[in-house]
């Protein structure tokens, strides 16, 4: 079973919502029942902030045939905030066991990149500090290839109410070439 970050958003291809997840349909949840998730989302997607808070409203993702439904993790690992101004937000051994690939991207419904992740905003990062990520994506998105490389610059997914979800890239994890 895959462990997710609390508040992580994924597109699911199933005809059902997996256990530990909820469909992103703008529903309001009781703060008392989901205190961890509330502490991440607050009233970004609605609710009164004292007894209720809202989930994002995300339209299904169209595929060539059918659609994928966006779901948010209501159970999982609480995401650690990285140290301020840290490029390599934490050591690989400190990354929670959510089994990402190095360079994998995920959407988060809270306003920060968890430790071990960076936002996909096209920024240049030092190749020497993030050697595994550099090996995985190279200069596909820019950079000089010797001292720096760029992360993808991706417009954030937006909830129906206009609140953005952060797309982040994993700095550490399994080597995608070993799969």
Mean pLDDT of the chain: 89
The model's confidence at residue 103, banded by pLDDT at 50, 70 and 90, is: very high
Q: Which of 61-65, 158-162, 168-172 has the lowest mean pLDDT?
A: 61-65
Place of tokens 């968890």: 114
With 50 as the cut, is the pLDDT of residue 104 above it?
Answer: yes
pLDDT in tens, 56-73: 999 999 888 788 999 999
Q: Is the dihedral of CA 112, 78, 61, 139 positive or negative?
A: positive
Report the pLDDT value the prediction gives residue 149, as an integer from 0 to 100.
95
Residue 137, phi-psi category: left (phi > 0), alpha (psi -120 to 50), beta (remainder): alpha
Report the pLDDT value the prediction gives residue 1, as an integer from 0 to 100.
43
């Amino acid at each position: 079973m895959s462990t997710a970050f609390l508040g992580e958003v994924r597109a699911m291809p199933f005809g059902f919502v997996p256990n530990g997840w909820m469909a992103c349909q703008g529903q309001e949840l009781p703060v008392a029942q989901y205190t961890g998730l509330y502490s991440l989302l607050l009233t970004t997607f609605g609710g009164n902030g004292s007894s209720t808070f809202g989930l994002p409203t995300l339209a299904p993702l169209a595929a060539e045939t059918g659609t994928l439904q966006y779901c948010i993790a209501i159970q999982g690992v609480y995401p650690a905030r990285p140290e301020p101004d840290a490029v390599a937000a934490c050591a690989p051994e400190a990354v929670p066991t959510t089994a990402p690939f190095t360079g994998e991207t995920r959407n988060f419904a809270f306003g920060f990149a968890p430790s071990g992740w960076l936002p996909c905003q096209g920024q240049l990062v030092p190749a020497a500090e993030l050697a595994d990520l550099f090996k995985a994506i190279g200069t596909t998105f820019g950079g000089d290839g010797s001292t720096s490389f760029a992360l993808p610059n991706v417009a954030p997914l937006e909830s129906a109410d206009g609140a953005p979800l952060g797309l982040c890239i994993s700095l550490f994890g399994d080597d995608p070439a070993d799969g």
